[in-house]
Amino acid sequence: MAGAAGPGAVVLRRFARERAPALLQAIADVASQSPFRQMVTPGGYTMSVAMTNCGALGWTTDRHGYLYAPVDPVTDQTRPPMPAVFHELALAAAAASGYPEFSPTPV
Asked if 66 and 53 touch (Cβ cutoff 8 Å), the reply is: no
In sequence order, the 6+-apart residues with CB closer than 8 A to the CB of 74 are 34, 35, 37
The model's pLDDT over 47-93, given as tens digits with 9 standing for 90+, comes to 999 999 999 999 998 878 999 999 999 999 999 999 999 999 999 99
d(CA 40, CA 89): 30
Closest by CA to 74, choosing from 37, 31, 45, is: 37
- Residue ranges of domains in the chain: 38-96
User: pTM of the prediction?
Assistant: 0.84
Q: Which residue has the higher pLDDT, 8 or 12?
A: 12
